[in-house]
Amino acid sequence: MPELPELEVVKEVLQRCVVGTQIARVEIVPPGGAIVIRDLTRGDFSAALTGATISVVARRGKFLVLSFPSLYLAINPKLTGRLQLAGRSDKRMAKTHLVLALSSGDELRYVDQKTMGQLYLTRDLNAAPDFAGLGPEPFDISRDEFRARLQKYRGEIKGILTRGDFIAGIGNAYADEILWHARLHPYRKRTQLTPEEIARLYEAMQRALRDAVEQVRAEMGEQIHLKPRDFLAVHMKTGEPCPRCGAPISLVGANQRITNFCRTCQPGGLIKGM
C-alpha cells in the first residue's frame, strides 16, 4: 500500500509536471475503470473532467487530491493502486483503469492490480469515505498533541499507528519502521507505554518518515508508479539481520497483515512467529 513517503513524492512530481495542464481526453478502461471510479457528483465523470485544468495537487493522509475549478478528484490507492505519468505512445501497464490525456502531451494513468482503490469525483472532499475523519499529518503534530491524542486509544501500538483517525498517512510498512526506530514491540499495549517510550515513539515517527521521503525522492525520480522500499530496515526483511543488532528479523502474520520486527531490539510479548 502506498503510504505517506511514496505519496508525498508522487505529489511533488505531479505538482511540477501536471499543475496548469488541461485534461484533453478522459478514457475509462473497462472493466476495472467502472469499479474504481466513484462519481459523487452524480454526473458524467468524463464530461466533467474533459477540458478541466488541474490547479492543485495535494496529499492528505493516504489520499492524493487533484483540484479543478469547483471539483476534486480524490484518489485512495489502497493496497495496489498506482499513478503513472507516461507519454501517449508508452505501452500501458496491465490493469490500467483510467487514462487522463493532458494538454502537455503526457498521460496520467491510474493502475491497480487488484482493483481495490477508489477515485472519487466530488465537489466536497469530506463526502469521500474516510476523508473527513482523518487525523493530523505526522509532520504537523507537536509532541504534546501526539501524547494527548494517544491517550484516547487502548489497543496495540502498531494498530493505533495505522489508524487514519489517529495520525494520517501511516500504514503497515511504515508502522513497522517507526516501531523499530523507537525500539518498541508492535504488540505492546498503549497503556503499557511509559512517558519516555511515548516521547521516543514520536521522535521515531518524525525521523523514519522524513528519512523515507528523502530516500523515496532519490530512488523514485519521476517514475511515480514505482514503490522503492529496499532501504527499509525491517519491513519485508524476514530472516535478514537487524541493521542495529544483527539478530534475524521476525515475522508475525495477524489480522491479514505482515508485521516485521526485531525480537532483540524490540522486546515485548510472547508471540509465535518466525
Cell representation of residue 90: 508508452
Cβ neighbour number for residue 104 with a 10 Å cutoff? 15
The catalytically annotated residue of 3, 107, 156, 177 is 3
Sequence-distant (≥ 6) Cβ neighbours of residue 125 within 8 angstroms: 60, 65, 72, 74, 131, 132
Measured distance CA(263)–CA(180) in Å, rounded: 10
Known catalytic membership, residue 2 = yes
3-state DSSP call for residue 240?
coil
The catalytically annotated residue of 62, 82, 109, 190 is 62
Known catalytic membership, residue 3 = yes
Cell representation of residue 24: 484533453
For the CA atoms of 214, 125, 172, 220, the dihedral, rounded to the nearest 10 degrees, stands at: -30
- Alpha-carbon distance values, 33 to 29, 113, 188 (Å): 5, 12, 41
Using left for φ > 0, alpha for ψ between -120 and 50, and beta otherwise, residue 180 falls in alpha
The catalytically annotated residue of 147, 149, 257, 263 is 257
Known catalytic membership, residue 267 = no
Cell representation of residue 258: 505482515
Known catalytic membership, residue 147 = no
Please list the active-site residues. Answer: 2-3, 62, 257
